[in-house]
Amino acid sequence: MTPKTAFGQTVHHVDGDWLAAAAQVHAEGFVMFDWLGVEDAGRPGSAGQRHFVFLHVINPDTRERRMLRGEIAADEVLPSVAGLWAGAAWHEREAAEMFGIRLAEPAEHLLLPESFHGHPLRKDFVLASRVVKPWPGRLEPGEDNTSAPSRRRTAPPGVPDPSWGPRREEEK
């Protein structure tokens, strides 16, 4: 691991075995898991998809933080660090589902339905496909061909309907 500091954060670049580097950091006392994330490093339309995997952990005794950064190609499998930090399992499943990273152990879907095709956080995922394939979440106002109620017609909360209450003299 070669450390590099930028913007106040020291990042250790893992060139070799990801799991061995994570185990070494865990043995050094970094037993508190913070987060695991992925960055899509590929260019849309380019050959070969690359991802950078980031692991951020904390030593609770010294409050020191450590970030590991490793590169993974499209044909490689990400070894799981959930055996060292149990909280990493959810983050790994999210990375597999949203970026298309292959895990050592196949996992069920976490966020997207089984019928969804593609990986929405990759650069090569075309957002315009929402027209062709329905997005699994709620549509934005105006996209679902229904209009939102006009704010001029609705009264603020707590204001009674005008037809309720005593009538004014001019309404009689």
User: Could you give the count of Cα atoms lying within 13 Å of 107 in the half-sphere of its Cβ?
Assistant: 22
Please report the domains of the chain, with CATH numbers, ordered by start residue: 2-141 (3.30.460.80)
Q: CA-CA distances (angstroms) from residue 42 to 63, 68, 75, 122, 158? A: 34, 20, 14, 9, 53
Nearest CA-CA partner of 31 in 83, 75, 78, 73: 83
In sequence order, the 6+-apart residues with CB closer than 8 A to the CB of 31 are 57, 59, 60, 85
DSSP 35: E
Put simply, whether the predicted model's pTM sits higher than 0.85 gets the answer: no
From first to last of the 172 residues of the chain, give the pLDDT tens digit: 778 877 767 889 998 899 999 999 999 999 999 999 999 987 665 656 789 999 999 999 999 999 999 999 878 999 999 999 999 999 999 999 999 899 888 778 888 888 888 888 888 777 664 556 666 677 666 666 665 555 556 666 777 776 666 666 665 5
Quick one: DSSP state of residue 20? Answer: H
Would you state the pLDDT for residue 44?
60
- pLDDT at residue 150 in the model: 55
| Signed CA dihedral, 9, 12, 13, 14: sign only | negative
- Residue 60: the pLDDT is 95
